[in-house]
Structure 1
């Protein structure tokens, strides 16, 4: 088969530039960068915008050596640009960080390649500006390399989680808390270690579908309109499609695909009711809600624990399984309180 390379390039510290000099200066800089990247590409290469300050390049018939040559040319072209945000202002240097993934070495699907390139980019961004910021997905000693072991499927999911985090930092923090709460509730209900493991993975992956939701909705500082809510709800089906493509994750899928169902049948995506909703889905629904309520969002401050508990009680039997709510309030929350006290 043919070789192919994916490059994801990110403008380092671009948010600082944008915030300091304004969006007009930022847009002008991005336009200059896009033009320079296009000139650095070969006629067969495909380039496009990928996120706010990121670009993706698809390099057909390109091996590792060819991809590195293109990546180095990209760095050189951007380093030569002179960014002057205002006519009399001093020249501000901007630099690229680059992640590279190769087909078929790093993956055989677009999802695998993008996840690996993104993880490699994450490594590049962590390097000091004095170093060349190019990382290969299979480069020894990087976090990106770990994606290849022990199973590529979990590696890809890990890469996708990081991709979502780059779009919306709240999602990763929320998912980690949700996973913790779900496992504790699973323990309180004396579920098997296999089910507890499924809850942990589901908690971390349940919002993967947000990778397909527009950034302006994820970060909107106010309530969503009905149309926007409809778009946002699609993340559950997108998550289901992504996780469903990974073998041996049946229990994880049951939890992640059903955490927005409601006990009274008014939830989504399928309107399941009561015990029609898989047990792990009912558990994840409570963990998801409590985590979301007690974290700051762009449009509201976090609720206090007592207010969040009151919300759980008020929605018992409508949104939540009553037995799960009682176990969460009586057994899980005291345990989290104890852990907090120890940490303090």
Structure 2
């Protein structure tokens, strides 16, 4: 009797899972080791009479003792990082088994406590590997969400202390699409950008935010003899609503807003179930005039969002300047 294919698949899965668990266990033990070394350095340092001088001396002396036997992974610079690790994450039981040492090194580079807590929570809930965490930090995800939200709301949603009450809580502005591999200076059509997004759908879903699922591309709607096509349709399980995306490779116009509003109205009246919340529309555009956006929509608008896209990772300085400009506009 020949074993079934399921039998071989099951054995393969058992071996693969065991290997993954072993690697994860080893990585976590290394994290715990670094934490304990940092704790011990900190405790010993507190016993020194001249703490600042003694701390530097202690780490230098320890590195000279450890490096010959254990290698450069225990240099003075690394030992200082272990000490910082303990001081930043002082509770051993709070260390996450799903985080590698690379995760923690990335978070240690963040000085702002709220910002670090945000990335920690997002990494946990979205199962980010270290590479994805690094990309989100480099793309200034926290600052982009703050452009349209208050700090407490952003952090509360990330920590799942509350559900997002409006789309701005999870929609970013600008959206950074550097993974598409398109050049900033090139001329291309909207279908080119759309095709690139579909080819990199997994990365785009991560860029969109929490809880998004792809539904359709070029969704056809028929209105009394006329056909219209919505570029991209998604569903967000946290917001419990459809999310329609229209792509514009030019500066946004009020006509673009009207087109998307029609699509949103159609989905609300035809596609949306009674238990679902109102449809969200996102205009993904090359550029926008916020004043035009403001006056093209009702004052109580909660359904249409205009978000610029960037084809390269912006610097922190660029985004902070953008944040300052938006704050000043609100004051004016």
Give the structure-2-normalised TM-score.
Answer: 0.36
Q: Which has the higher strand share?
A: 2
Which protein has greater RCO, CA pairs closer than 8 Å, 6+ apart? Answer: 2
Give the structure-1-normalised TM-score.
Answer: 0.35
